[in-house]
Amino acid sequence: MAGVKKGRWGRFTTAMPTPRPDGPLFVLTKIATKIHVAIFRRTKGRVMGNFDGAPLLVLHHRGAKTGRPRATPVIYLEDGKDLVVVASMGGQDVNPAWYHNLRAHPEIEVDIRGRRRAVRARPATAEEMTALWPRLSRMWPAFEDYKKRTDREFPVFLLEPR
């Protein structure tokens, strides 16, 4: 989007190649994610609670195949009572694991600013996507760069209170 500048984290994530799921950078990313979640929880989101001003939540979901609990920090947009998340995976050609987990087990919880909320994840409709995308890319301009890395359409989920 013209006129919207990426912050430090957005510049970093668009300058670095996306880590391949079978590569060593992916392993480091997984370790960094666990540390991020631990700091986020301990500080109730006061530290590691945003990227360049874009707010983060922690998705608490279950593995689609294993059923094991997972925790993933994700940028979100508030849309009324709903929360909106994008399965961009930095522009990889595959969806992130949490996408498959939400499809298999949509009843999840999220942590936002030290509070846990029960939500139901559902894919956005095409109309909702069209309406939400300009707001999402204004909030996190790196999404537009991620889109240039792949032909994949980024799934968007609405997390509705339950």
In this predicted structure, what is the pLDDT of residue 154? 95
pTM passes above 0.95: no
Domains and CATH numbers, the chain: 8-161 (2.30.110.10)
- Please give the average per-residue pLDDT across 24-32, as a whole number: 73
Residue 145 pLDDT class (50, 70, 90 cuts): confident
Evaluate whether 51 touches 118 at the Cβ level (below 8 Å): no
* 139, pLDDT greater than 80: yes
User: Where would I find the H helices in 21-139?
Assistant: 24-43, 97-104, 126-139
What number of other Cβ atoms are within 10 A of residue 65's Cβ?
Answer: 10
Mean pLDDT for the chain? 86
Query: What is the pairing mode between strands 156-161 and 107-112?
Result: unpaired
* Span 33-51, pLDDT tens digits: 778 777 878 878 777 777 7
- Please give the average per-residue pLDDT across 115-141, as a whole number: 95
Report CA 117 to chain centroid distance, whole Å: 16
Instruction: Provide, rounded to the nearest whole percent, the portion of the chain with pLDDT above 70.
Output: 86
In this predicted structure, what is the pLDDT of residue 15? 58
- Please give the average per-residue pLDDT across 150-161, as a whole number: 95
Evaluate whether 79 touches 153 at the Cβ level (below 8 Å): no
In this predicted structure, what is the pLDDT of residue 120? 98
Please state, in angstroms and rounded to a whole number, the distance separating the CA atoms of residues 155 and 147. 12
